[in-house]
Amino acid sequence: MALDPGFRTVLDTLERAGALPLVRDGDAVATRAHYRELAMARRGPGFVPEQVADVADGSVPGGPGGDVPVRTYVPADDTGAIVVYLHGGGWVVGDVDTHDPVCRRVANATGATVVSVDYRLAPEHPHPAALDDAEIVLRNISARAAGRPIGLAGDSAGASVAAGLAVRAIRLGGLRVDAQLLFYPATDPTSSHPSIRTNGSGYFLTDADMAYFWEQYLPGGAGAQDPEIALLEADVRGIAPAVVATAEFDPLRDEGRAYVAHLERAGATVHHVDGPGLIHGYAAFLGVVDAADAAATTALAQFRALLG
């Protein structure tokens, strides 16, 4: 299928504005500022955030790096479920502000209270810092959920953290995860799948961006064999049911599809939402590109069903 016309317009606009590539001169601070500017600009003039019942900033104590900042969204129609959300950004950029619109949509679409985690970023805090912060938040929620369904969700690098935490939950025990929602996760630190090359330029995220992000998160390849990172090698027997969304023109498309197959071979319940015509990061363009809205709506409905 051809690239969706809405995303052709988006990409052409970004190219003309000099907004690509995402990574700025190999500098994490500059790249963070650039990514934040892009995220805010996407909302456009007169942007009104999707309304939820309540939004509150707070923190969860006990993290290895100190208290973990979180932002909690209570949906308009609360079903009682709780979702821990991990933002994308190559483990290097992004925060609860850049992903505020997505978390509002997840809350209202699933009826779940969403706890968005402002985990520590690389290169200052490489693996396993993000996973450790996410675990502390999940452990806190598990201790007080009182039978409420608990889900993990994330996009891109955040989806990888969510998937890694679901793997960790099997190994450690005592951490309840009832469902996962993974938007275009990175599952292969070797970047050996064909789509890294075929979709590696011209579609927002590039192969060079991914190489930079992996090096910041796993400096010198340290931790690349960890099954919480090398997800295609992880023992996922008994893992929580998952929705995995991929995008046709994403460098990470093939490793996302490979993770679906890996889960299926292990007997896990998994729903694959393919994204024909879409690019990496499409969940950040809700309300901008109709096809992105349609794919995200399907993924969120399936996730809601898994949460019960």
For residue 20, count other CB atoms closer than 10 A to its CB: 19
Q: Which two tokens stand for residue 88?
A: 């994308």
Catalytic residue among 87, 118, 156, 209: 156
Q: Is 260 helix (H, G, I), strand (E, B) or coil?
A: helix
Does 207 qualify as catalytic in the annotation?
no
| CA 24 – CA 184 distance, rounded (Å) | 23
Backbone angles phi, psi at 211, to 5 degrees: -60, -40
| CA 120 – CA 60 distance, rounded (Å) | 13
Q: How many CA atoms lie within 13 A of 103 on its CB side?
A: 30
Does 280 qualify as catalytic in the annotation?
yes
Catalytic residue among 87, 271, 272, 280: 280
Q: What single letter denotes the amino acid at residue 243?
A: V
| CA 28 – CA 283 distance, rounded (Å) | 23
DSSP state of 231: G
The answer to whether 78 and 111 are in contact (CB under 8 A) is: yes
Helix axes 290-307, 100-110, angle to 10 degrees: 50
User: Following CA atoms 139, 58, 96, 109 in sequence, which dihedral angle do they give, to the nearest 10 degrees?
Assistant: 70
Does 156 qualify as catalytic in the annotation?
yes
Catalytic residue among 4, 155, 178, 250: 250
Q: Which two tokens stand for residue 92?
A: 């290097």
Cross-strand pairs, 153: 85, 181
Catalytic amino acids?
156, 250, 280
